[in-house]
Amino acid sequence: MSSNRIIFRIVCSFMAFFITILTTSPLAMLALSANSQKTVAIEKEESEPVSVEPPVNAISSKPQQPPLPSATVLNENINNLIIDPTLPLYDKFTVAQRNQKNLICRLPKADYYYGQKTVYLTFDDGPDPENTPVILDILKKLQIKATFFVVGTQIKDNPQILKRIFQEGHAIGNHSYNHIYRDLYRSVDSYVAQLHKNDELIMNILGVRPRITRAPGGTVGSFTKEYWDALAEQGYVDIGWNIASGDASSANAITLVANVAKQLENEALWSHSIVLMHDGSGHDETVKALPQIIKLYKDRGFEFRLVNVQTPPAW
């Protein structure tokens, strides 16, 4: 064997030995593993920009847009519009705007709904930062839709609560701008001006206008024929009540429940029981009474509805 061949064999043996040591030692494995992780990391970095699915934290950090409530919204063409009796009804336009644009002004024809046992819960004088959110929580928990007749001066201070009422699918009605009787009932013009002012406020916040309204203090003793004519001309429908919870007084929750129970004995009202309550400031007894008032109706098998054009006149 030549000396060159012997040297070649010795070199080969050493190389084989070193390769064995390298591939089996923990240190060498760690180095290889780190290297493979690095490869994965690079691949990940490269693949991220083309990823279709955004990371989960990116989704949750986006501002959440609440879904639009289900409602019938009158737009340009209200001909042949099918009104869902279970949904609130709003308009995109005032009657004046409809006239200007040559759009149909009259509300779509809807037959009054008289159920076997139907109740409409209504709340006046809000939105209030104390009472309205609690009432909304109760209604949400019990899966009941109600109607809120809102006042402009309250909306100005609590626009977010108005949005919540709307987004949770309740009906909203116009209850004047400032609720001050001596301003409101000074004249027909002054009454209508307050409705319009409140209407604009609601439109600016929600993008829709109510067509239902309730006269502060009720129409009896305040409305003359001229008021009714003006209301019809402006496309509003006044909604009264036939069951008074009595919460305009300082009565406690037990009395309020008893008041409703007593009036509920009148079977003539079962087909369209419209309950007057208040969610305005100071009406915490109404909030306390509400679950019991709802229970009264539930126990008797009543269906809960919100006010829209199919709601019959109270009397």
C-beta of 124 vs 238, nearer to Zn ion: 124
- Plot region of 69 (φ>0 → left; ψ -120 to 50 → alpha; else → beta): beta
Q: How far is the CB of 128 from Zn ion (least distance, A)?
A: 12
The sign of the CA dihedral 71, 209, 314, 146 is: positive
Q: How long a stretch of residues is the chain?
A: 315
Q: Does 216 bind Zn ion (CB under 5 A)?
A: yes
Beta bridge partners of 276: 122, 244
User: Which of residues 38 and 186 has its CB atom nearest to Zn ion in the complex?
Assistant: 186
Name the residue with tokens 């919870």: 245
Q: How far apart are the first and last CA of the chain?
A: 125
Residue 124 touching Zn ion (CB under 5 A): yes
**Pick the catalytic residue: 170, 175, 278, 283?**
278
Give the nearer residue to Zn ion in terms of CB position, either 125 or 199. Answer: 125
Give the residue at shortest CB distance from Zn ion.
124
CB of 186 to Zn ion, least distance (A): 17
128 binds Zn ion (CB under 5 A): no
* Nearest distance from C-beta of residue 216 to Zn ion, angstroms: 4
Number of residues that bind Zn ion (CB under 5 A): 3
Of 222 and 234, the one with the shorter C-beta distance to Zn ion is 222
What is the smallest separation between the CB atom of 291 and Zn ion, expressed in angstroms? 23
Q: Name residues whose C-beta falls within 8 Å of residue 50's C-beta, 6 or more positions apart in sequence.
A: none
Name which of 119 and 215 has its Cβ closer to Zn ion: 215
- Written in H, E and C, the secondary structure of 258-305 is HHHHHHCCCHHHCCCEEEEEECCCCCHHHHHHHHHHHHHHHHCCCEEE
Cβ-Cβ contacts under 8 Å for 29 (sequence gap 6 or more): none
Six-digit token string for 252: 């406690």
Residues 141, 143: Cα–Cα separation, whole Å: 6
Which of 91, 125, 199, 247 is close enough to bind Zn ion by CB under 5 A? Answer: 125
124 is catalytic: yes
Q: Give the angle subtended at the CA of 118 by the CAs of 126 and 289, to the nearest 5°.
A: 45
- Region near Zn ion per CB under 5 A, out of 99-107, 164-172, 204-212, 215-223: 215-223
Of the candidates 48, 42, 58, 107, the residue with the CA atom closest to the CA atom of residue 78? 107
User: Which residues in the 144-163 window bind Zn ion by CB under 5 A?
Assistant: none
- Integer Cα distance of 282 and 278 in angstroms: 9
Q: Would you call 278 a catalytic residue per the annotation?
A: yes
Stretch that binds Zn ion, among 40-48, 100-108, 211-219, 292-300 (CB under 5 A): 211-219
> Closest distance between Zn ion and the C-beta of residue 219, in Å?
12
Q: How far is the CB of 175 from Zn ion (least distance, A)?
A: 6
Query: CA 244, 290, 292: angle at the middle one, nearest 5?
Result: 100
Q: Which of 124, 125, 128, 247 is catalytic?
A: 124
Q: Which residue number, 93 or 149, has a Cβ lying nearer to Zn ion?
A: 149
Q: What does the angle CA 82 – CA 86 – CA 89 come to, to the nearest 5 degrees?
A: 65
Q: Which residues are catalytic?
A: 124, 278
Chain residues that interact with Zn ion, rule: CB under 5 A: 124-125, 216
